[in-house]
Structure 1
Amino acid sequence: MTNNRSNFTSKIGFILAAAGSAVGLGNIWRFPYLVAQYGGGTFLLCYIILAVTFGFALMTAEIALGRKTRLSAIGAFSALNKKYRFIGVLAALVPILILPYYSVIGGWVIKYFTVFISGQATQAAEDTYFSEFIGQTGQPIFWFALFMVFTAIVVLFGVEKGIEKVSQFMMPLLVVLTIGISLYVLTIDGAWEGVKYYITPHMSDFSLKTLLAAMGQLFYSMSLAMGIMITYGSYMKRSTNLEHSVRQIEIFDTGIAFFAGLMIVPAVFAFSGGNTDALNAGPGLMFITLPKVFASMPFGSVLGTAFFILVFFAAVTSSISLMETIVSILMDYFHWERKKTAIIVLVYCLLMGIPSSLGFGVWDFIQPLGMSILDAWDFISNSILMPIVALLTCFFVGFVIKPKTIIDEANAEGAKFKSVTLFTVVIKWVAPVILIAILISSVLNAAGIYTL
């Protein structure tokens, strides 16, 4: 194990960086439309309960694995038991698959920011604007490359001077923007009906589908089962209280998701006259429905510009963590220096992201698994690999190295891990059952046998 590993310089630096990883596009656009699709407050309640139980247990395990071994995913599993190195390899595959296509979407965000800041909100609200834009060849690739290069520059500067400093700047601004836009939205006529729908649970809306959807969102939102939290944990000082840090990351992540929903659900509700169908636009919510909402509002261009700055901050803090995870794994394995590794990863991502971009245009005839290229990568990484990695991690912690290994790490340097029973029960018994259910439902859903 290496002794000269970089460290976050402070507890707040670690929390903001890890929270920045967790807070991404999943919080800003995926969470609100899932809330609408699965009964508003019912989904919200399920998500919060899962976040403070399952999310807490798995995030604690991953950060502790990284901090204990001072290594990224492959090295961490191998150091604790060489037979289970393959779990680290699978975890490493997740960011390798996600980062290129995620950055394509990040490029779309930059494009929309430039559209709104240049006063073209009305054009962006047209029905065909988004499909025509992503169907082009040059423009989407240009914005994707710009997003990718910005991400690489931050990673190039390293943990302290790059990731930590950018996170300390972007995360507080992201919080202020999210809360500020949410409060403004509440002043719009008809918005309060949307608030009631958003925060009021109705148990008649509860179903297994709601639970599984909330669980799937938790992965997407909290950067679990990607090797990210193991990598960030490896940069965490042992003097930093692990349990408190995880709880604070959860508060950041769930809080941003909550305010994103409070921003988007009431706005669309007011715009559509209370018709929740407008919220069921899925991925199109952010790029098709919301521009229409902004165009219909007073000061819509200003609000749209602020919104897409917010989304850019969320997207780029997550892309930084994805890229840093890949860079860290390669540096640990091949003993390369950071600059060389970051450039190699940048070139890889640029080459791999182009097919995902062209899949909506000149390559739209290529339909792996009956999906666009981007959607296929998303399905493989999020619906198949991540539940498998999480399930194997639970088995590894629960029955191979035993929960005591993680508990001892959480108790390092006089800290007192208070959630021992919760952690042990969830990681050994509760989480595996839910993860198997998610994996089965994902496969059946893809086969058209079961619709989530």
Structure 2
Amino acid sequence: MNPFLLITVLIGTQLSLSDGLILPVLAAKHGQGSFLLAYAVIKLIFILPILQAELVAGRIYRASPFELSFLALNKRIAAFLLALLMIALVFVLSTNLFNTAWALIFSIDGVNGDLLSLRPLDQNLYWFEQSQNTDRIMSFVMAQGIFLMLLGGLAWRGIISVFQFFIPLCLAFIFFCVPQISELLMNLQYPRLHWGDWLVAISHAITSSLAGLLVWYVIGTKVADKLPTGRAIITVQLFDVLFGLSLMSISYQWIGSLDTGSVDVGTVFRTLMVSLAEQDAVPVQTMMWLILLPIVGLLSSVPLLLILTQKLGTFIRHWLLALTMIAVVILSGAMVFSNGVYSPLVWYGQSIYDVVQALGQGLIVPLITGGVSFWVGWVMRPNTVLRQINPHGGIRYFLWRITLRFVVPVLLGVIFARTTLTLTAITATQALTVSLLVLVVVRLFSWVKHRAIFPTHD
């Protein structure tokens, strides 16, 4: 795989709807320009070691997670890891299909002019009608499922062809938005960030990349040993940050003057309708945003197909792909039909969508990514890893290894703990207290066992 193709594929794995639908709202609520700087720093520094670790593992073992787990581990453990990976894949794809269905709805209606000159009451009625129109949303969900199943049948070559066609389009969009990005950054405020703002920046920077991290291991199996990857990863991260800023340079002008309320994928769409209330025609920039957003949604699901197109038998691969997409469409359908305000399908007041997204990107994917990082950072021989990262050693390798061993587990642990608390009725104080009590009880039991029951003699 040549460097250009490698960068193209890796960029495709980092595209997500979160930069278009969530990042603008988070920036408006948590520090504007300071939040974006924190987000960019985390993307460029703390995500890089994880991405490099995924590629290193793939290049060294030359096997997919499917194959490696059954070759190197106990069959029961391998089956558990495989099930965990498949659950993560289904959860992430389900949220992608749900979000992209909404992006397609607003894209079609916006391009057709149906969102123009809607008064506040009309806007509320439109939003309510679309939420209740489950047939329309499900039609887009099922269309995506069929598209992904057909594309997955083409395996590696078909998926790469999609990246080669659409990534240059995204690059052209970034160049078009450079003046708007500069204007955005100059007009934003740069206040001091509080700990809560940093926590949100860390969480979003990592979770917006974690879905792509599921497939970097697979891409690594196709990368030559002598092909340098460090600069490619930095290039990919820069592209990801610039693309997010490009989308923001258009959508932030809708959000900046409004009360953002709660952070959800509908906030940007609601502010979009408000921005078009006094318009006779959709502005060119808004039109580009409306067209590009569903494309990004579709592209964000494509890389995950690489997990399902491994060196398995053709019959097994096709059945695995079909069954996975059926499960994805069913779960997305559950999100669609539970999207109403009075839906009985809730978990501690949260919708099925919020629960599935939290379980996938907040619990299971960090667990898998943390496992790969632990394996590369602590289990694999340092000299083997060194030859893949930097044959001459030096400070860069030292910093990379320190970050992978200590910083990355802490960051992933913070996301894991934060998500766990949001899915339960337990507060952070209660969780900390219980953890300390458990540690004290374990320590006391160990002390009593060794000193009282089985005393030792010096």
Whether the TM-score (by the shorter chain) exceeds 0.5 is yes
1:164 lines up with 2:160 in the alignment: yes
Alignment check: 8 A CA contact 2:24 2:255 kept: no
**Measured at CA, do residues 297 and 119 of structure 1 come closer, stay the same or move farther in structure 2, by a change above 3 Å?**
closer
2:47 counterpart residue number: 55
2:244 partner letter: A
1:55-204 correspondence to structure 2 within 5 Å: 55-76=47-68, 85=78, 90-122=84-116, 126-160=123-157, 162-180=158-176, 183=179, 195-196=185-186, 198=188, 200-203=189-192
Q: CA deviation at 1:196?
A: 3.9
Q: CA deviation at 1:281?
A: 4.9
2:372 counterpart residue number: 393
1:292 counterpart residue number: 274
1:227 counterpart residue number: 214
Q: TM-score, normalised by structure 2?
A: 0.82
Q: CA deviation at 1:428?
A: 0.8
**Measured at CA, do residues 435 and 344 of structure 1 come closer, stay the same or move farther in structure 2, by a change above 3 Å?**
closer
1:435 lines up with 2:412 in the alignment: yes
2:214 partner letter: G
Match for 1:39 among 31, 45, 51?
A: 31
Whole-angstrom CA distance in 2 between matches of 1:153 and 1:283:
28
1:243 lines up with 2:240 in the alignment: no
Match for 1:215 among 195, 202, 225?
A: 202
Alignment check: 8 A CA contact 1:163 1:320 kept: yes
Alignment check: 8 A CA contact 2:35 2:201 kept: yes
Q: CA deviation at 1:60?
A: 0.5
Match for 1:410 among 382, 389, 395?
A: 389
Whole-angstrom CA distance in 2 between matches of 1:266 and 1:403:
49
2:455 counterpart residue number: none
CA deviation profile, 1:185-220 (whole Å, cap 9, x unmatched): 98xxxxx5x64454x4322xx222222212221233
In structure 2, list runs of 5 or more residues that go unmatched. 430-458
Q: TM-score, normalised by structure 1?
A: 0.83
Alignment check: 8 A CA contact 2:51 2:213 kept: no
Larger radius of gyration: 2
1:359 lines up with 2:335 in the alignment: no
1:157 partner letter: L
1:364 partner letter: S
1:280-429 correspondence to structure 2 within 5 Å: 281-296=263-278, 299-300=281-282, 302-325=284-307, 327-328=308-309, 331-332=310-311, 336=315, 338-361=317-340, 364-411=343-390, 419-429=396-406
Alignment check: 8 A CA contact 1:152 1:343 kept: yes
Q: CA deviation at 1:241?
A: 1.7
Q: Is the deviation greater in 336-345 or in 246-255?
A: 336-345
Q: Is the deviation greater in 171-180 or in 24-33?
A: 171-180
1:15 lines up with 2:4 in the alignment: no
Alignment check: 8 A CA contact 1:94 1:226 kept: no
**Measured at CA, do residues 359 and 93 of structure 1 come closer, stay the same or move farther in structure 2, by a change above 3 Å?**
same
**Measured at CA, do residues 127 and 332 of structure 1 come closer, stay the same or move farther in structure 2, by a change above 3 Å?**
same
Whole-angstrom CA distance in 1 between matches of 2:414 and 2:180:
40
Question: RMSD of the TM alignment (CA)?
Answer: 3.1
- Local SS of the residue matching 1:282: coil
Whole-angstrom CA distance in 1 between matches of 2:428 and 2:185:
31
Q: CA deviation at 1:261?
A: 2.4
1:247-286 correspondence to structure 2 within 5 Å: 247-269=234-256, 272=257, 275=258, 277-278=259-260, 281-286=263-268
Q: Give structure 1 regions of 4+ aligned residues with deviation exceeding 6 angstroms.
A: 414-418
Q: Is the deviation greater in 12-21 or in 126-135?
A: 126-135
Alignment check: 8 A CA contact 2:210 2:366 kept: no
Q: CA deviation at 1:170?
A: 0.9
CA deviation profile, 1:371-424 (whole Å, cap 9, x unmatched): 21121101111222233233333322222124543332335xx89898312210
Whole-angstrom CA distance in 1 between matches of 2:92 and 2:301:
9
Whole-angstrom CA distance in 2 between matches of 1:127 and 1:178:
33
**Measured at CA, do residues 392 and 131 of structure 1 come closer, stay the same or move farther in structure 2, by a change above 3 Å?**
farther
Alignment check: 8 A CA contact 1:241 1:415 kept: no
Q: Is the deviation greater in 66-75 or in 38-47?
A: 66-75
Q: Is the deviation greater in 287-296 or in 100-109?
A: 287-296
Q: CA deviation at 1:296?
A: 4.1
Q: CA deviation at 1:177?
A: 2.7
Alignment check: 8 A CA contact 2:174 2:242 kept: no
Number of residues paired by the alignment? 423
Alignment check: 8 A CA contact 2:111 2:290 kept: no
**Measured at CA, do residues 121 and 278 of structure 1 come closer, stay the same or move farther in structure 2, by a change above 3 Å?**
same
**Measured at CA, do residues 124 and 222 of structure 1 come closer, stay the same or move farther in structure 2, by a change above 3 Å?**
farther
**Measured at CA, do residues 249 and 92 of structure 1 come closer, stay the same or move farther in structure 2, by a change above 3 Å?**
farther
Q: CA deviation at 1:232?
A: 2.2
Whole-angstrom CA distance in 2 between matches of 1:19 and 1:226:
11
Whole-angstrom CA distance in 1 between matches of 2:117 and 2:138:
21
Identical positions, percent: 18
Whole-angstrom CA distance in 2 between matches of 1:255 and 1:68:
31
- Local SS of the residue matching 1:227: helix
Whole-angstrom CA distance in 2 between matches of 1:364 and 1:404:
55
Q: CA deviation at 1:439?
A: 2.2
